[in-house]
Each structure stands twice: as structure tokens, then as C-alpha cells.
Amino acid sequence: MKTLPDSIKVFERGWLSSNNVLFESAEGTAIVDTGYASHAPQTLALVRQTLGARKLDLIVNTHLHSDHCGGNALLQQTYASDTLIPASEAHAVRAWDEDALTFRATGQRCDRFTFTGTIENGMTLALGGFDWNVLGAPGHDPHSLMLHCPETRVLISADALWENGFGVIFPELEGESGFAEERAVLDLIARLDVDIVIPGHGAPFTDVARALDTAASRLDYLRADPARNAKNALKVLIVFKLMEVRTMTLDAILSMTEHARAMRAAADTLAASHERRTLIEDIVGELARGGSVKLSGDVVSAA
């Protein structure tokens, strides 16, 4: 089985936080993606344990969903690290527009951070003693990027490709194109020389062809009926919030669905506003039967 170079360490996190990829070489240190805000102290502890007395020189974000950049602020405070974000998100971060950054839209949170530079499709980054090509990866998020190292044949795919799928196709919830873009990204990955994929969530994997087939089938399934993508999005966002806060009432979940733009858009696809509570009860019931949450009366808890 192919293995990663010694200069690359992967911190596989739970589903509330994205994986962190730490690079350490003579030229410097860097981390790609930093997890969710509530796990920021854990992220810092992992970095400290690995780097010891060395400082963290650079933070790189593949995209700015809260589970990928929630540790930025604490790492910046600790190390004064340079930080690179997708160029198309620079204005939103500079203004700290939490609507444009989707934190409010998804019912999530992120501590404010800054940036010192930007990256975009076509650039090259030096990380861990190797050159990495920056590749656009819209679909899950229109601003998302991947990193590919031809020399090591490693791909950091973020949420564009997991071993068994990909992230929620958020643009489609609000009437924007996302399915076609995800298809194009899968086709791009198929053309790359890749032996190991480091996904945004889940363990690194080597059977890239199987993962691409699984993702393509999943995409066809969602594309055939947009309600499937909307329902999946609601389930994911409800479970995500419960992983953070541990317990919510059905009324609190319903309120979040009304106020978080992406959740409201997903719910609008599935039911009229006067049927919203029944919709949430049905979705929570499905999650409980599947073991993703626990339901006791009107109280919903993380599994």
C-alpha cells in the first residue's frame, strides 16, 4: 500500500471537524484546514504535540466552511501564522460577512480570523518539501479548492471527494448550479495521477477508482431528484449542530431551520412553510431510527 511522505501528517478528526494535514520540512511548517471552532483547543494541542518548539508558519484553507477554518483564529493567536484563503472569499473575510461566509446560513459558528494572502486555481504552493498544484473544486462549495502533488501522487480533496461520496451540494439548495460542477471535479480527479487521497473527512484512501465510481453514482442519485439533496442537507446540518451543542428541542431545531438560510431553502424544497414542523419531526424521526440521533419526547440529542 502506498504511504504518505514523512513530511506529511494527517490528523483524522471526527465529523464535526475536518481533517487537518500538517506539513513539516526544512523550509517551514504548514497546516491545511483547521477544524471546527469548538475543537480549536484540540487542533492546537495536535499541532503543538507534533511541532514541539517549532512554530506554525502557515495556515491554508481549502474552503471556508466552518468545519475547515474554525481553528484559524486560535492558531493565529498562538503562532502569528500567515494564512492563505481562496481568493474569491477575500472580500467576505475582510468584511467578516457571516452571511456570505455561510456560517449563519448553516446554523454554525466561526471565530473571526484574518488572512495574509490568497490562493486560486492554477497556483503552486510549496508544502512539506514538495510542490502542490492548486485546483478549483466547485460543487460542494463554489469557492472550494484541492491540492495535488504530482511528485508524490497525493491529492488533498477537501469535500469534493470522500471514500464514500462527497459533501452536501450547497449551491443547489438555493437555485444555483452545483451538480454539474461536482461532475466536472470528479472528471478532473479521474485525469490526475493520484495514489493517495486525503479527504476532508474520513481516513486517507488509495482505491481512487472505486471512490470515484461511488461518488458518480451518488451524484446521479441526487441529481435525479433535487429533493434528495435538500433532505440530505437538512439531515447533515441537524446532526452537525447536535454534535456541537449535544441536545436541542424540536422547537429549537425548527427555529434554526427558519433562520439559517441554507436550511430554510432546503426545507422550502420539501414542504410548505405551514408543514415545516411535520417535516422536521419526520426527518428527526428518520435520523433517530438510523441511530444518528436520540429522540426522547421533544428532546433530540447527539447519538
- Assigned fold of 228-302: Arc Repressor Mutant, subunit A (1.10.10)
What pTM, to 2 d.p., does this model score?
A: 0.96
How high is the pLDDT of residue 274? 86
Cell numbers representing residue 23 in the block:
506539513
DSSP 44-81: HHHHHHHHTTS---EEE-S---HHHHTTHHHHHHHH--
Q: What is the pLDDT of residue 124?
A: 98
All structural domains of the chain with their residue ranges: 8-224, 228-302
**Which residues are 118's β-sheet partners?**
85
Place of cell 511541532: 51
Same fold, 8-224 and 228-302: no
Going residue by residue through the chain, which has 303 residues, state the pLDDT in tens, using 9 for 90 and above: 689 999 999 999 988 999 999 999 999 999 999 999 999 999 999 999 999 999 999 999 999 999 999 999 999 999 999 999 999 999 999 999 999 999 999 999 999 999 999 999 999 999 999 999 999 999 999 999 999 999 999 999 999 999 999 999 999 999 999 999 999 999 999 999 999 999 999 999 999 999 999 999 999 999 999 999 999 999 999 999 999 999 999 999 999 999 999 999 999 999 998 899 999 999 999 999 999 999 999 999 999
CATH number of the structural domain 8-224: 3.60.15.10
